[in-house]
Amino acid sequence: MKDDVLAQSWIPVCETKELSDKPLKAEVLGERIALFRASSGVKALKDLCVHRGVALSLGAVKNDCLVCPYHGWEYGGDGRCVHIPQLPDNQAIPLKARVPAYGCLEKYGLIWVNLGNNRPPEPAFRYLDEENFQSILFGPETVRCAAPRFIENVLDVAHFAFTHDGYLGDSSRPLIPDYRVREEGSGVLVSDDIACYQPNADARGGLVNHYRYEIPGPLAMTAVKLDKETGDIVYIVTAVCPIDERTTKVFMLFAANFGMDWGEFYDYQRILFEQDRLIVENQKPEELPLDLQAELHLNPDRLSIAYRKMLRGLGVSFGTA
């Protein structure tokens, strides 16, 4: 059920610290994947021994290889079987004894996989790389919604005043200043700064924050949230793993250039997240409609319109209708 377009993206699957010296199972785009550590780095194989269909992630790691728990076949990080214990020494390992190997890397405290054939540039989120910013991970959280429904939620500026009334917005001030979304050379979508009054922004009291959104690809978004009076920035990255068409693992990374109380921030973010979860787990249709006639749109929806057009242009089928 793999989506060829999304397979070309780097997709976060777990935290780096979750992968010890034992293999770990992950699910991405309806595929089962076995992760393991070799001396040259993290490896990802299709989680299916070619001998009898056993999940390799139930096995063990030995000599940079993943060893199947059923009959001990050993697979290298490139997916080739390098040892079959039942074969006499004078018999060659069959060429068909191999499993697909996927792209895999560690960055920002997460393990990312790529199921496609062309390896795109590794994920890069600018303020997470800057020294004067401190960052934390929120999640991962598993949400019962299609991945594009979740990304669209995080791009939605008009919901602050209602879903997050008293936190990120104020229902007596629902108007959103008009803004534009433009495409940058690399296909990245970028919004203007959008001024939003926030009665309880980050638990620091009421202030106007300016949001600048970016959509770097179908499974991620970023926002720079700027307080123009102080220069304080909170940088928000949402990257999602579509487990299957209607289940999504959400990773949110936050960075700030000021002395943020991250414990307090995390608790605040937990409230916001649960407010959003209730919405996205109850939307119909579950898949994000890419036909722009299918739902109604207003000016504040420009980001979601641009996102839907991007998905349609790329031909994303997973989690879309």
In sequence order, what DSSP letters do the residues of 272-307 get, joined into one string?
HHHHHHHHHTT-SSSSBP-STTSS---GGGHHHHHH
Q: Which does 145 bind (CB under 5 to 8 A by kind): Co ion, ligand FES, none?
A: none
Sign of CA pseudo-dihedral 207, 212, 218, 219: negative
Tell me how far, at minimum, the Cβ of 62 lies from ligand FES, in Å.
Answer: 13
Interaction of residue 276 with Co ion, rule CB under 5 A: yes
Give the one entry of Co ion, ligand FES, none that residue 51 binds, where binding means its C-beta sits below a cut-off of 5 to 8 angstroms depending on kind: ligand FES
Determine, following the binding rule CB under 6 A, whether residue 34 of this chain makes contact with ligand FES. no
83: contact with ligand FES by CB under 6 A: no
Closest CA to 310 of 212, 179, 223, 216: 216
Shortest distance, CB of residue 74 to ligand FES, whole angstroms? 9
Indicate whether 70 belongs to the interface with ligand FES (CB under 6 A).
Answer: yes
Does residue 52 belong to the site contacting ligand FES (CB under 6 A)? yes
- Candidates 69-77, 120-128, 290-298, 304-312; binding stretch for ligand FES (CB under 6 A): 69-77
Taking CB under 6 A as the rule, does residue 48 contact ligand FES?
no
According to CB under 6 A, which one of 5, 25, 32, 51 is a site residue for ligand FES? 51
Q: Decide: is 49 part of the binding site for ligand FES (CB under 6 A).
A: yes
Cβ contact 53:42 at 8 Å: no
Our CB check for Co ion shows the closer of 152 and 276 to be: 276
* CA nearest to 149, candidates 95, 53, 218, 82: 218
Q: What is the largest CA-CA distance in the chain?
A: 80
Kindly determine how many residues on this chain lie close enough to bind Co ion according to the rule CB under 5 A: 1
β-pair partners for 136: 254
Which secondary structure element, helix H or strand E, spans residue 137, and what is its range? strand 134-143
Q: Which is nearer to ligand FES, 57 or 248 (CB)?
A: 57
Q: Which window, 47-55, 85-93, 269-277, 295-303, contacts Co ion (CB under 5 A)?
A: 269-277
Reading the block at residue 140, the tokens are 């991962």
Q: Please tell me the total number of residues recorded for the chain in this structure.
A: 321
For 210, the token pair is 């300016």
DSSP annotation of 310 reads: H
Q: Considering the complex, state which of residue 47 and residue 152 has its C-beta at the smaller distance from Co ion.
A: 152
Q: Which does 276 bind (CB under 5 to 8 A by kind): Co ion, ligand FES, none?
A: Co ion
Q: How far apart are CA 77 and CA 75, in angstroms?
A: 7
Strands 60-62 and 41-46: what pairing? unpaired
Closest approach of ligand FES to the CB of residue 47, in Å: 11
Q: By three-state DSSP, how is residue 280 classified?
A: helix
Do 139 and 250 touch, CB atoms closer than 8 A? yes
We find the least distance from the C-beta atom of residue 140 to Co ion, in angstroms, to be 17
In the bound state with ligand FES, the residue whose beta carbon lies nearer, of 51 and 107, is 51
Q: Which of residues 279-308 bind ligand FES (CB under 6 A)?
A: none
Question: CA dist 106 to 94, 214, 243, 280, Å?
Answer: 32, 23, 19, 29
Among 2, 22, 62, 71, binds ligand FES (CB under 6 A): 71
Confirm or reject binding of residue 73 to ligand FES (CB under 6 A): yes
Q: Are 248 and 30 in contact (CB under 8 A)?
A: no
What is the binding site for Co ion (CB under 5 A)? 276
Positions touching ligand FES (CB under 6 A) are 49, 51-52, 54, 68, 70-71, 73
